[in-house]
């Protein structure tokens, strides 16, 4: 059985990858993340490839490395993780009452073999929120390590009016697309 390595420290990605029932190791990438494009779709693919590449250099022949990166995009602007609570408030204020996109780039690389990079896009619809509701959510601490300053699977869930696309993509790993890539590559 091939060894899988998740190139991420995200507990959410760990939980999602575990759903495949295949054992895996976690080696968080320490790659310096560099975006060389203004196109968000290309940027998430580029970042996932950088993460997977860093771990791939330390892997053994035949190891399967899975790198991933997720961003929130509002009217073409990439919203990464907030720098502080003020930045989280700004992001959430911009997202409330509107629709935005969540993009996740994924790279599946086999040491000594092929590499596949793809992205998944999901539209997320957020209900209008008062300033008090935004501050109350920020007080949970949840927004601080998440792209766009929210987690759909946590305390922000009540403010989501709907999504168009893959829910798991918003959490951080598009399971069905990843499954198809792994299956087509004979890695399952």
Rounded to whole angstroms, the Cα distance separating 56 from 49 reads 10
For residue 78, the cross-strand partners are: 73
Q: What 3-state class would DSSP assign to 45? A: helix
Active site residues per annotation: 69
Rg (alpha carbons) of the chain, rounded to whole number: 17
Q: Which residues contact 110 (CB under 8 A, 6 or more apart)?
A: 2, 62, 63, 64, 65, 185, 187
Q: Containing H/E element for 176? A: helix 175-184
Hey, what's the torsion of the CAs at 156, 126, 167, 35, to 10 degrees?
A: -90
Contact between 161 and 112 (Cβ < 8 Å): no
């Amino acid at each position: 059985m091939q060894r899988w390595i998740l190139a991420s420290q995200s507990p959410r990605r760990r939980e999602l990858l575990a759903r495949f029932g295949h054992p895996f190791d976690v080696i968080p990438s320490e790659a310096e993340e560099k975006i060389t494009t203004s196109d968000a779709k290309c940027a998430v693919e580029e970042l996932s490839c950088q993460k997977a590449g860093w771990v791939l250099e330390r892997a053994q022949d035949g190891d399967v490395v899975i790198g991933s990166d997720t961003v929130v995009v509002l009217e073409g602007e990439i919203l990464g993780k907030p720098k502080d609570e003020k930045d989280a408030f700004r992001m959430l204020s911009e997202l409330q009452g509107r629709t935005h996109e969540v993009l996740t780039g994924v790279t599946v690389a086999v040491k000594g073999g092929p590499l596949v990079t793809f992205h998944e896009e999901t539209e997320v619809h957020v209900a209008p929120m008062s300033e008090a509701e935004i501050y109350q959510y920020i007080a949970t601490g949840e927004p601080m390590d998440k792209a766009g300053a929210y987690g759909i699977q946590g305390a922000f869930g009540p403010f989501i009016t709907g999504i168009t696309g893959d829910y798991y993509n918003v959490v951080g790993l598009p399971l069905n697309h990843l499954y198809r890539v792994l299956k087509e590559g004979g890695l399952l």
